[in-house]
Structure 1
Amino acid sequence: MKKLFQTTIIVAVWGTLISFPIEASAYEEPTHYVHMKTENMTVYSAYGATINATEKNGIYSIKANIVNNRQPLEVVIFKNGQSSVLQQVLKKGMEPVAYRDEGDRVVAIIHNNAELKFVQPEQLYFRDLAKTTTSFYIQTLAERGIIRGRTPDNFGVNDSLTRAQFSALLVRAFSFQQEPTKQFSDINQKTSWYGGHVGALHALGIIHGKTPTIFDPNGKITRQQAILMLGRTLDAVDFVQEDKEDKSILPFEDSHTFQGELLRHIETLYTIGALDDNTNLNPNQYITRGQFAKMLAVTLQAAGRL
């Protein structure tokens, strides 16, 4: 049931970072898709977009008339021996892009017009990962640029996440396009670093405010809230569960308290391996940065974005 993360690990560029094992399977090109090809790239749209794709000096540029958080593009780029990571080129610097590695090529999902480039990942060493079971997932996300440490040498494994931090992580991980949000009086769109992240998730129905007008960006995220928002994210990207194994038997002694939407998302996340076989799920406990790194990494891979 839980085959997503095998115990075998692949040594990355400098031998200090690790990545998910690549499954040996041939890439299947989408059918009935609009597409455009360049020498090393093919861009697909399932929504009838008009696509303009070019590649020059190692930068892969994609523009389309239809591309947003509900109508993304799929971009296939041959690696040609590249051992680095794919990122987006922005005016303010480099940002992550959601993609999976198929061995000889990468398959990226983009929700906005983008310029993509292979870059060497930052060499990171977090001293507080030595005794944690989530170090594998943290290092994998850090290599992609999705997650960052509290300091250059400290990740903050057991620290909690705020609602603002959680929103930014989720948007960054799935490469959602940031959107403005005006309904929350405690978010300043001009000065807040997280306003566009909250706006994207709110528009998709993934995150809600504490009240219709208050978001509470500094409030902490519980395990239940993290599960709900990860599950809603899978719904938003049209995730289809391929594992037909019975999901109704959960190992948690407190599972009798789960119902409705929460129960559905717990079953999905447990089946894909994002939740551990603990005695209790403890939904009302604050989730730690280390715990969420595992949940996020497994969810990304299940959705074909890592």
Structure 2
Amino acid sequence: MKGIFPKAIMVALLGASLTTPLQAHAYQEPTDYVHMKTENMTVYSAYGAKIAASEKQGTYSVKANIVNNRQPLEVEIFKNGQSGVLKQMVKKGVMEPVAYRDEGDRVVATIHNNAELKFAYPVQIYFHDIANSTYSSYITALAERGIVQGRTSDNFGVNDSLTRAQFSALLARAFSFQQEQTKQFKDVDAKKSWFGGHVGALHSLGIINGKAPNTFDPNGKITRQQAILMLGRTLDAVDFVPEEYDTLPYQDSNAFQGELLRYTQTLYGIGALDYNTNLLPNQYITRGQFAKMLALSLEAAGRL
């Protein structure tokens, strides 16, 4: 699915040359789309939304009558001398990541809720444990956007595992999905759990399921196979279509079928999976491994 805007280049951001696939953004170049322009911003919708957009003193406000995780808006903002990381203000003094790609003179963001956007100084990264890691550039790129955080201010925990709650929050935050509360899972408190809205957003899109119909298991760990499935479903949800499905080099992937095979081929094709003899699908995924998978999935979808 071809986007309205040209393909983004990620090399400078990640600090390494990356093979970039054909990108599929949130919108086709439609025959009838609506848009709203201000001095430095254009907001696009392929869904017939009524858009109200304004900008004042470096704050870009966007409101629409149809904005959700299945019908987002694409926002083009020309920098005109502004620098830093684009973020969205969720309440006074609190800013969160927004999915966007940097095209030099402008950024193109995908938003799933009404938003106030603003450029902010990037987070300074001091993770000592990523200095010699092959995942360093991906962790840094995500951390500068505020998508990932360290275990402490100077330790990322590159080899630590991820829980289902942590994974849900990272994935929803990275793609800036609108949070949705869910009442289906008895072990997810809609009012008190910090991850409830993220789980609800992913569950509503068919990206993540519970361990049982009424149990989410937020403290359970994520395997590599589960991460592949959920990232693949996420790419489907944002209409990414790969150019082709690559042949897998892994000896332990011969029995893969259906969506697991297709998503593994997709992620391997965009470079998100390490090249090893075995994929080790049942091994718990590390924070470093997932950072690479997430960064390259975002880039493939035109959101980093």
Map of 1:14 onto structure 2: none
SS where residue 190 of structure 2 aligns?
A: coil
Equivalent positions of 1:171-186 (< 5 A) are: 171-186=172-187
Inter-CA distance 275–104: structure 2 relative to 1 (3 Å threshold) = same
* TM-score of the pair, normalised by structure 2: 0.91
Matched AA of 2:283: Q
Shift, 1:260, TM fit: 1.1
Specify which of 264, 267, 272 is matched with residue 266 of structure 1: 264
For the Cα contact (< 8 Å) 1:84–1:121, is it kept in 2? yes
Show the 5 A alignment for 1:24-43: 30-31=29-30, 32-43=32-43
Compared CA separation, residues 210 and 79, structure 1 to 2 (3 A): same
Conserved? CA contact 1:228–1:265, under 8 Å: yes
Q: How does 1:12-27 map to 2 (within 5 A)?
A: none
What are the residue-to-residue correspondences of 1:96-245 with 2, within 5 Å? 96-241=97-242, 243-244=243-244
Aligned to 1:72: 72
**Which amino acid letter does the alignment assign opposite residue 73 of structure 2?**
L
Give the whole-Å Cα distance in 2 for the aligned partners of 1:295 and 1:53: 34
Change (3 A) 1:226 1:176: same
Deviations 1:83-133 (A, max 9, x none): 201000111600000000111100000000000000001212100011210
Pair 1:84–1:29, CA change in 2 (3 A): farther
Separation in structure 1 between the aligned mates of residue 262 and residue 275 of structure 2, nearest angstrom = 17
Identity of aligned residues (%): 74
2:3 corresponds in structure 1 to none
| Structure 1 stretches of 4+ moved >6 Å | none
Kept after mapping to 1: 8 A contact 2:223/2:285? yes
One-letter identity of the residue aligned with 1:305: R
Matched AA of 2:89: V
Q: What is the match of residue 57 of structure 2? A: 57
TM-score by length of 1: 0.90
Query: Are 1:41 and 1:78, in contact at CA under 8 Å, matched by a contact in 2?
Result: yes
Question: Shift of the alpha carbon at 1:81?
Answer: 2.0
1:301 and 2:302 matched: no
- Which whole-Å CA distance do the structure 2 matches of 1:233 and 1:29 have between them? 18
**What SS does the aligned partner of 2:254 have?**
helix
Counterpart of 1:128, as a letter, is D
> Matched residues in 2 for 1:29 and 1:90: separation?
29
SS at match of 1:151: coil
CA contact (8 A) 1:19 1:140 kept: no
How far apart are residue 30 of structure 1 and its match? 4.5
> Cα offset for 1:257?
2.0
Aligned residues: 288
Determine the C-alpha separation between the residues in 2 that align with 1:173 and 1:212. Answer: 26
State the partner residue of 1:285: 283
Q: CA deviation at 1:18?
A: 5.4
Offset at residue 29 of structure 1 (A): 10
Runs of at least 5 residues in structure 1 that lack an aligned partner in the other structure: 11-16
CA contact (8 A) 1:101 1:107 kept: yes
Q: Deviations over 1:253-300 (max 9, x none)?
A: 111121111001001111111112111000000000000000000000
Deviates more, 1:252-261 or 1:294-303: 252-261
Cα deviation 1:1-56 (Å, max 9, x = unaligned): xxx998x646xxxxxx95988x9xxxx99453200000000000000000000000
Q: Distance in 2 between matches of 1:185 and 1:163?
A: 15
Bigger Cα displacement from structure 2, 255-264 vs 161-170: 255-264
* Residues 273/5 of structure 1: CA separation in 2 closer, same or farther (3 Å cut): farther
CA distance in 1, matches of 2:95, 2:144: 13
Q: Secondary structure at the match of 1:301?
A: helix
Q: Give, in whole Å, the separation in 2 of the partners of 1:265 and 1:134.
A: 21
Q: CA RMSD in A?
A: 2.0
